[in-house]
Structure 1
């Protein structure tokens, strides 16, 4: 077992520079970072202890759409400064989510076309999820922002470009000064497990995601850890849009209560109990399934 201390309060871009994040209602963190706890690493995923009904179900992939079963996964996840999870309440996204004119991805694309470009050394990802929007407005997004660990229950379309500048483009965040006064912002309190199930983008993710979602929900429910809407406590489980790496399906992203993210690949239902026991409960990362995230793998396991 090995321990690696994450970058903590420093976030490095590809040019090893650090930029300051604007103050957000008393929550001051470097741009694109949050305090993170150290995780330990274990080499392999422990086997399941019970059969919930489909624990040993094997996803059946098309002959011409295989997965890389023996791939070395560490380092296959993109290096991100920030990741947004957008609550859409459905999984019927087009193959390219920006083709949906009302999507946050379309907003980002339109901003780029209008000259509001990304900073070249600052990477972010926008991911749609099946999480239910927390707003009655039809012209607003509900957004989780990581690793800042912030939740925006209602970001009006009219403030979308300002949001992009303020939180996703460090060189332009001053142009949207005062945005925090116009938005409700909360620290996130519920961990999230997001499973890539973007079927219109790649059939492999569409095949395995429902199996994994069902198994995660069963295992968490058995342990009393599944999200309960009446109490507002527990871990939320959702399907998400394309995150890259079809050949590593199933792709599972875990965002803990501190904003740390852990990306797993080649996950099957039989791995779920081990992931919950090791990663969710014990803060230990299963290296054999680990693609990346905000925790870097120790060299001795690489």
Structure 2
């Protein structure tokens, strides 16, 4: 057992395992500070000795299904899915119950800063309805209620797994493909961890600025295809490794980085978002999904 644990901590073993999933970048995971567009205090990203020294590989698993629920917020109560009688609670029970069981999925559920539906704002703000983005499928389901929740999830996920065409409408929900190139998720859950509330806006500012140079930045509501969305999410786990950065590429690559600072932003965009390559020293988990369209 001791030898096994030692092997798992060997960086060469981690790199070999990661390279079987996604190609390894030959470039540095950090750029020079002069290449950052914004100044920041390095102390914001200072980690505890445990957080700084623990090997990251396999400290997290990229889920088979990641459900991103729009909330229009950047911070939430400790568990946003724990409000009795709300659609968020119902979605949580559905995803962790019949969806995980019937499809044998490892699932993850997040609330996001993605905007609420303005045309039915009252119903959405009162948590009677919600819109969700399914990753790694890049598919939106808009208009989920308690009544249609389970049936719609099963229909959409079942369509992907069986290779069937996805319906544009099912049980009152509009189902559409998201044409973004990538989504970058940053934990901003200050209520759970103050550090995330500080580091996430700094990281987003640098991501957004670098994306403008690449002509990939998209304002909220800008749905031009091929852009990159940088989105705040609630607690993802592993705050001692902040900043956590989760990336989903339209090509099926999914990466969970940690111990990131603005010095990592440009390399992450150049190598991971644009080329699907990863930096083993920053990787907590990776997967490469075969998503057909």
| In structure 1, distance between residues paired with 2:42 and 2:148 | 45
Please name the residue that 1:47 is paired with. 31
Deviates more, 1:280-289 or 1:180-189: 180-189
Which of 179, 189, 195 pairs up with 1:189? 179
Q: Does 1:89 align with 2:81?
A: no
Whole-angstrom CA distance in 2 between matches of 1:109 and 1:125 = 9
Tell me whether 1:210 sits opposite 2:194 in the alignment.
no
CA distance, structure 2, for counterparts of residue 263 and residue 218 of structure 1: 21
Mapped to 1, the partners of 2:86 and 2:231 lie a distance apart of 17
Residues 66 and 134 from structure 1, CA distance in 2 versus in 1: closer, same or farther, beyond 3 angstroms?
farther
Structure 1 residue 4 displacement after superposition: 4.7
RMSD: 3.4
Distance 1:202 1:168 in 2: 33
**Structure 2 vs 1, CA of residues 225 and 62 (structure 1 numbering), >3 Å: closer, same or farther?**
closer
Is 262-271 or 197-206 further displaced after alignment? 197-206
205-214 vs 120-129, greater mean Cα deviation: 120-129
Please give the secondary structure, in 2, of the residue aligned with 1:152.
strand
TM-score of the aligned structures, taking structure 1 as reference length: 0.72
1:119 — aligned with what? 101
CA separation of 1:285 and 1:213: change in aligned 2, threshold 3 A: same
Q: Which has the higher helix share?
A: 2
Give distance in 2, aligned partners of 1:71 and 1:167.
39
Within the candidate set 33, 44, 60, 1:77 is matched to: 60
CA distance in 2: counterparts of 1:156 and 1:211, whole angstroms: 35
For 1:232, the equivalent position in structure 2 comes to 224
Q: Is 1:265 the counterpart of 2:258 in the alignment?
A: yes
Alpha-carbon distance between aligned partners in 2 of 1:244 and 1:250, rounded to the nearest angstrom = 11
- What are the residue-to-residue correspondences of 1:1-302 with 2, within 5 Å? 4=19, 6=21, 39-42=22-25, 44-48=28-32, 50-54=35-39, 57-60=41-44, 68-101=51-84, 105-109=88-92, 118-119=100-101, 121-134=104-117, 136-137=119-120, 138=123, 139-163=128-152, 166=155, 181-182=170-171, 183-190=173-180, 191-228=182-219, 229-230=221-222, 232-233=224-225, 234-295=227-288
Deviation at 1:94, TM superposition (A): 0.4
Distance verdict in 2 for CA 1:243–1:216, change over 3 Å: same
Structure 2: gaps (5+ residues): 1-14, 159-166
SS at structure 1 position matched to 2:263: helix
| C-alpha distance 135-141 of structure 1, shift in aligned 2 (>3 A) | farther
- 8 A Cα contact 1:89 1:129, kept in partner: yes
Name the structure 1 match of 2:3.
none
Give how far 1:60 is off: 2.7
**Per-residue deviation, 1:259:** 4.2
Q: Residue deviations 1:75-108, cap 9 Å, x none?
A: 1113522111111111231011123347654114
Q: How many residues are paired up?
A: 255
Distance 1:61 1:242 in 2: 17
Q: TM-score scaled to structure 2, two decimals?
A: 0.74
